[in-house]
Amino acid sequence: MDYQTNPMRGIRGAITVERDNANEIAAATLLLFETMMEKNQLVPDDVTAVFITVTHDLKSAFPARSIRKIEKYRFLPLMCAQEIPVEGALKRCIRLMMIAFCPSASQDAIRHVYLGETQKLRMDLKGENNG
């Protein structure tokens, strides 16, 4: 990819898990991350950093660890944080903000990914670019 002509963009994604379980959190995080990569036609070197947040009810695992275990992402900067505990917010939710060089210069060409229950977070994207 020519980084001179391909802009850096933020790509959002979210997914929920059924329960606070380390294996479920790892599997959901990987599914979300890989779907975001695929839908935006990215390769590992395109991604500069990933910020991951979890709701306060997910405490059994660091989601970043599941991505870091994949050799090609071993040195990718990943950071986990806890979401603001807003009353009535979606439960057991993992959110990703990926910063990447993208093949399209257009902001509306970015494919944000909201899987399962999280689709209601961005009803404005329903049918456009939801997972």
Which amino acid does the sequence have at 99? I
Provide the annotated active-site residues: 12, 68, 80, 83, 95, 114, 122
Contact criterion met (CB below 8 Å) for 96 and 33: yes
The pLDDT tens digits for 56-92 are 999 999 999 999 999 999 999 999 999 999 999 999 9
Please provide the average confidence, as pLDDT, over all residues in the chain: 90
C-alpha distance across the termini of the chain, in Å: 25
Domain assignments of the chain as residue spans, ordered by start:
8-125
The pLDDT tens digits for 105-121 are 688 889 999 998 898 77
Nearest to 51 by CA among 39, 36, 41, 72: 36
Q: Annotated binding site for prephenate: which residue ranges? A: 12, 95, 114
pTM (global) more than 0.75: yes
Report the alpha-carbon angle 23-29-32, nearest 5: 140
The pLDDT tens digits for 8-28 are 999 999 999 999 999 999 999
Q: Annotated binding site: which residue ranges? A: 12, 95, 114
The strand order across the sheet containing 113-114 reads: 78-82, 47-54, 93-101, 8-16, 113-114
Q: Read off the pLDDT band of 43 (50, 70, 90).
A: very high
Tell the CATH topology of 8-125.
60s Ribosomal Protein L30; Chain: A; (3.30.1330)
